[in-house]
């Protein structure tokens, strides 16, 4: 009997320790999922920056092509054609990463909802629900901010590709001159796309800061003393 009591006394703290470790793991997984969501948002933000850079490149390439019409537009056309591909690739990459970001966000909020349901203290549970609702609203704002870019980007890209096709078979002074109105329309669309991308970038910056824990800035390495 004494041996059984000793065994029972030894098991109680061991079981308590195991429970504590498991609970700690569940709690820490929440912010880790938030970090994953934040990383996905940041990836999309970088994609937006890449699209803006590629749009700038295509607008400049159009100007260079128009300017070289009466001299030798071959090199300028090749640069323009390449810029169109870069715009298309940047857009495709952003679309793929936007879908991944949405999936990570859904998983994060689902996990949070599960954890909230296990909270016993009513006030703490209500506070967590309010905080979750606010962050979900902020996350949803990304989609709203992306609507403008989603509406204008396809038309811009389509016109870029059509212009590339048109000039590929008629790279003459007259051919480039005849496309003057298309140049003007496409450039205006590009400016509009950039405006919407600026709005989306600002929203992404706001949400990634709200959804992830702060990090201490890295201390720059000390310069080595001069010999």
Q: What percent of the chain has pLDDT over 70?
A: 80
Which tokens go with 218? 């890295």
> 47, 90 in Cβ contact below 8 A?
yes
pLDDT at residue 1 greater than cutoff 60: no
- For residue 171, is pLDDT > 90? yes
pTM, 2 dp: 0.78
Query: How many C-beta neighbours within 10 Å does residue 18 have?
Result: 10
The reply to whether 84 falls in a domain is: yes
Residue 74's domain spans which residues?
27-211
- With the C-alpha atoms ordered 219, 101, 152, 161, is the resulting torsion angle positive or negative? positive
The residue to which tokens 């490149």 are assigned: 57
Q: Looking at the domain assignment, is residue 226 inside a domain?
A: no
With CA atoms as reference, report the closest residue to 44 among 103, 109, 108, 95: 95
How many beta carbons lie within 10 A of that of residue 24, not counting itself? Answer: 10
The dihedral over CA atoms of 198, 182, 155, 39, expressed in degrees to the nearest 10, equals -30
- Asked if the structure places residue 22 within a domain, the reply is no
The CATH number linked to 96 is 1.20.120
Cα–Cα distance measured from residue 186 to residue 127, given in angstroms and rounded to the nearest whole number: 49
How many domains are contained in the chain? 1
- pLDDT tier at 210 (50, 70, 90 boundaries)? confident
Which tens digits make up the pLDDT trace of 3-23? Answer: 444 444 433 443 333 333 333
DSSP 8-state symbol, 131 = H
pLDDT of 153 reads 97
pLDDT at residue 217, as a whole number:
55
Quick one: pLDDT at residue 11?
A: 37
Query: Does some domain include residue 63?
Result: yes
């Amino acid at each position: 009997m004494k041996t059984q009591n000793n065994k029972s006394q030894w098991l109680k703290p061991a079981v308590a320790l195991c429970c504590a470790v498991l609970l700690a793991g569940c709690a820490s997984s929440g912010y880790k999922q938030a970090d994953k969501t934040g990383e996905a948002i940041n990836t999309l933000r970088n994609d937006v920056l890449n699209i803006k850079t590629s749009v700038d490149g295509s607008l400049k390439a159009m100007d260079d092509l128009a300017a070289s019409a009466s001299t030798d537009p071959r090199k300028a056309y090749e640069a323009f054609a390449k810029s169109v591909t870069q715009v298309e690739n940047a857009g495709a990459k952003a679309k793929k990463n936007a879908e991944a970001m949405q999936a990570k966000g859904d998983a994060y909020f689902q996990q949070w909802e599960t954890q909230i349901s296990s909270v016993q203290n009513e006030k703490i549970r209500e506070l967590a629900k309010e905080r979750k609702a606010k962050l979900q609203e902020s996350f949803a704002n990304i989609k709203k901010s992306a609507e403008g870019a989603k509406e204008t980007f396809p038309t811009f890209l389509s016109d870029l590709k059509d212009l590339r096709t048109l000039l590929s078979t008629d790279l003459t002074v007259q051919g480039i001159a005849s496309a003057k109105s298309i140049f003007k329309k496409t450039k205006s669309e590009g400016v509009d796309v950039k405006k919407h991308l600026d709005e989306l970038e600002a929203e992404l910056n706001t949400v990634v800061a709200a959804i992830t824990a702060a990090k201490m800035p890295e201390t720059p390495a000390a310069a080595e003393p001069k010999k």
